[in-house]
Structure 1
Amino acid sequence: MLNFLSKKKDAVEQIAGIVLRHESGLALVIKKNNQRHSSQLIDQREFKYSNGWENLTYDIDEVLFTLEKNHNFSLKKTVFFLYSHLIDSRSHSIKDSYLEKINSLIKENQLDAIGYIDYTEALAKYLQNKEQSPLTALIVEIDVPAITASIYKGGERVFSESVGKTANIAADLEEICKKTQKDTVLPSRIIMYDSSELENESTALITHKWSEDLFIQMPRVEVLKPEEVTDALIYSFDDHPGARIEESPVQNQKTDEVPVPKENDSEGDMESESVAGFVIGKDIKEMDIRQDDKKTETVPDEAYNEDVDDSDGEVVDSHTSRPFSEKISAFFSHFSINSMNIKNKNIFIILIALAVIGGILASTLLLFHKAILTIYYQPETIEKEIEINSGIKIEKSTEKISTSESGEATGTKSIGDKAQGEVTIFNAETSEKTFKKNTQLKTSDGFIFLLSSDVKAAAAERKVTEDGDILTTTSKTKTKAAAQDIGQKYNIKDDVKFTIEGISESQSFARSTGAFSGGTEKEIQVASREDQDKLKKKIDGVIKKEAEKIIRSKQTDGKIISDLTETKVGDEKFSAEIGEEAKNVKLSISAEVSFYSYHEEDMKNLLLEQLTSVIPDGYTLDTSSISYTLADAKKDEKGKITLNISAKAQPKLNIAEQEVFSSIKGHSVSSIRSIIENKFKARGYKINFEPSIPILNSFIPLFSKNLKINVEPFQ
């Protein structure tokens, strides 16, 4: 029967995987598909502990915040991957000293802890699935303070032990192996893993001469690469047989209460509640930190660098949620100056020592305890189209431009003299004939000459011969003529016959009387129309550039409205007219540029007034957060100007920096998240200490001048 009242899991959820080693950790972002029962690694980030396990709460908070910011989603559900030497090999539970720290960081960072996974168990399950056969091997885990060896036979872990790590890793492993039961045959396969490469360590094991009592044959040594170890962790997190994670039940108890196990709880019961290193049906933060005091491993406590109170053997948590200022006040409240006798030398020395210590402490907090707190808020964008035809002063300015351009004359022209000479006109008509000036005379070669003046040719004489024939004697009249065009080709020879324009040769004709002379011709360079047009086009570009130059120089006084800029060209003057002889042609011109401008400050103040009504609640806007583009500008016949503006603004979350400081000063770094996000409605924050001093990095500065607060949009 289906339970319809049970809580349904999200189809896809993001889970934080925290790998905890002795001095460093690894944060994983796991995408879990609850329908397909599969998990996928989407990001990972190594991080060093800033002060061992003392500041682990802050270190994890910082790395999770960075991952949340990069992926823009929240990471609350968390699974812990623990090195085996952090787990008691007999009770299969986290050692007390580490469990207390883990409980603290879960509570301080408000994490929803699913459970934890034993590194070695995860690797064993992964290798069995990969090789499709029960695992028989000696898995060796190497961390800074300890080395742990686990023996697997037929897929089951039959032995696990840890010892303090020395410089001789082979000797350390041999020491562990000797603790196995007598006549135990060790697997001839050794698998090693760490957070880095193990080239030197693997070489040491390969070259070591093992006792024949431990290995029947020389063991084969394998090193798992870090990426393969990560794959094993993700695989172990999937819903595969033997590695299924169940939901943690809701506990009706206060978060600071720790349940105490019943006296009749047995070791077998504890084993039945865990599968492949997962805590089944329990939350880490609900586990009892006061577990069995029995120590099953030979690693000395000092190897783990823990803070232990020798008086009762209990681990002392130096991390507290009280502001540091309260700690200082509580410390000095134990001393009463009135009860001291100044005359006593010893008391006087104590007073001086306390004063020096107090001065050093105060100076340290004042001079070196500094931080930069960046508060991120959810950005809001305002966009609005605004038409402006009043409310802003628009000024008109006029500038004159005088310039000139010149170029080489490219036109050509032929010049010279016309050939001149004397001609004789022969008239065969019986009547007198008049030939006007410029009457054309044409040679057989087509050369044309013109009469230089009007000429009257006498009538021809006719006589009847004795034979009865009529004899006509033409009249001969000499006159001047000149060639129609210039050129040497018109210098014709003597006795060249001409036909007369419009008259038959039988009536009249002419001949040159002597050779013609004086005809010359040469080509000269002149100005052409193309030269003038080219200069006009060139000077138009010069005027435009000069106008732009003037506008740029005026931009310092105001913003120019380019659409309204006008250029009026005045008189043009060329140095040579078309066809006039010239080597170069120069054009001189004058123009007048008119442009309109406004002041940037006036425009932004006007836009601020227009945008005030659409600012979201809790946000403020100033002119520095406003940007705009001038989409269009027009001027009507009466000179009225209308501007169309596309405005865009980024309002800022209204956070009082002094109020923020008053709310968090002296608080532990891990406790300020809820204050910043809930009280000030922020998206998140980031804090950097400069200089970075591990002890001081755990709480907020006490002096306002030592805490710089920046408020920025979340990108």
Structure 2
Amino acid sequence: MKISSLPNLWKKEEKEFYLSLILRNEKAKAVIFEKTTHTLKYVSANEEEFTSTIENASLEEFLSVLDKAISGAEIPLTSTVDKYKTILALKDNWIENEKIKKEYLDKLKKAGDELGLEPIGFLTFSESLTNLLQKEEGAPVTAIIAEVGKKYLTAYYIKSGRVMEAKTSEIHQGASFTVETLLKHLETPAVMPARIILINSDEDELTQEFINHQWSKSLNFLHIPQIQMLPTNSDIKAVLLGAATQMGAKLEFDASDVERVEQNKSFENVSEEKGIEGQNLDYVGKEGSMDFFGFSKSDVAKDVQQDKVSEKSALHDEALKEVSEEIPEDVKIKTEKKLNIGTLGVLLVEKAKSALSLFQNLLSKEALSSLRNGGIKDKKLLFIGLGIIALFIFFYFVFIFQTKATVKLAIDLQTLTKDESLTFSPNSTTNLDDKLLEAKIVPIEEEGSVTVDVKGKKDVGEKAKGTVTIFNNDTDPVSLAKGTIITSSNELDFLLDSGVSVASASGDVFSGTKPGTTNANVTAEDIGTEYNLPSDTKFTIGSNKSIGAKNDNAFSGGSKKNVLVVSKEDFANARAELPKKLTTKAEQDLSKKVESGMTILPQFIDTELLSEKFDKKEGDESNKLILTGAVAFNYIAYSNSDMINFVQNLFNDSETEIMKSSIKTNVKDLTVARNRDVSADLTIEIKAVAKIDTKSLAEDIKGMDVGKAKNLLSNLDKVKSVEISVFPPIPFLSSALPKNPANIIINVNSN
């Protein structure tokens, strides 16, 4: 085996210094960290303030502040770094569509050129902070984060670990008042998270200001907001956490290192050989990749992947204790409930202790000797002492274990509405993701009659009649059958009423010829007065020129008038009008057809004529037509449970509870497909109440004075009134709630 082929196990890991610039409203912080193959470690940091704000700073001031911040952070370094690979932690309003806005990008590029920086990526400070909080608490955070400066502050609304809104303002009438004003202008939350986190502020006065602030009820806090202050190094830890995650490295971070470097910047060096064994370090996993860093190519910040490795809390017990001691009496609920059982309970305990002490004295050797000698007075004292002890034990037992309390909270309902499109299908099963609810056809049968005006028209009258003389000038006789048409000179046709024969012409060339003649009765082909022809009207008979006819007397009897008669269109109109007339009756009977657990849409999808009977036939002369029949109105019904599930998904809010019985739907538009699937545009209205954790409330108020508990509960958002009753009513003790939270029953009633 060749020794040279073995890996150099003793070779020292190569180290490289990186820089992170954290840009805030009023200051810039430079953080230098050290990266080895698998590890990222904090080295030093320094911050410098802008004259006003970073937004108002000129390019010259911007470069000067960054230069001073970097120079101050470099003091502990033992070697010079020519050019830092730099990660930028930017304000939210510097980013648009996941890119740095042009006006800020130009500034940053100028800073890179002037200060010898090599930007390799950027992230938003707020998202880094929420990721840090999620790691420390083990779950996505929902809270209000207040970044308070000297003159300006920014309020972030965080929900489930996401930054929903951020607003910045100059501080007016104090930081807490400004935060309250900004929260009133938020558009996202229906119920405000009852937790406010202050970042980069170690001023006790500021924390006390927020604790003492009287928050407006219009902000919809579920209860008095909890005030939490993060340590001053939270911004450093948050940004390094994001960098380590995306660089695939493990973060070594000790809060005491930050404090020590700050105090000894000019003297203390970072030892490359210093181990991590025995230190209280926070680690970050190696998930993520260098794909996050694309600053120099596309200027786009990709989404920071959220790490799932939990970190240790940066809030030490000592810090929590110091903050808790400063909370005023009307707010310090959770601390108080852990430390005492109420003033009266403490008095009971003290009295019990005194009684036990007396009892011990009574049972001393001297006292027992005196009792054996028959001292009546001592015996009385013994029984009195035993009685007092038994009495106090009884009251204490009742107070701790047997007292019960009922709390009645009356809260207001919120009315919420949304417009949504749904498909009700008798052919499919429910699929909430596709906004599809299973439905069934519900027929409502109604009987009735309808009368419509007849619109058909017809000409009626009599045919003209008369007698003509038929002339035959041919040498042969002519026979004409019944119905033979003779045409007048004005082209009106008449029919022979019966068949006739006409003799041939007679005579010679000398005496002249005489046509054969015969008389025949004729009737007009159609009705009308125009067939009443005058006398001496000539007629032709077919195409034979040898025969003709003429009337000696005028024709008469022809007449005509226009009347209303039943037509096919009148039948169709009556069939269309019958469902319209019966619609109101069907709507009235609709409620009788509703099955339990079902709701019927108020509009029918189609109708079917089950039977019909008309009082007239087609062509009958009349001005009215009556139809009697039965109509089926087909409605759509859906399951109430399906609609409730859909509405709960639609109004999904972890901080409110929907009153299921209050759901109302209004159909604005309804379209029916050929397969009877119904697409409907709905306006959905619900009543909702803020969710109240009754178990948590019982824990908060156990052992508390009734008056103080009422005051606390009355300040909860949407609570209109509070009633508290304690049973049994023990003298001197009924003014306190039971110590056992299981004995406190909280009933929430909505108005």
Interval of TM-score (by shorter of Structure 1 and Structure 2): 0.3 to 0.5
Bigger Rg, structure 1 or 2: 1
Q: TM-score, normalised by structure 2?
A: 0.39
TM-score (norm 1): 0.41
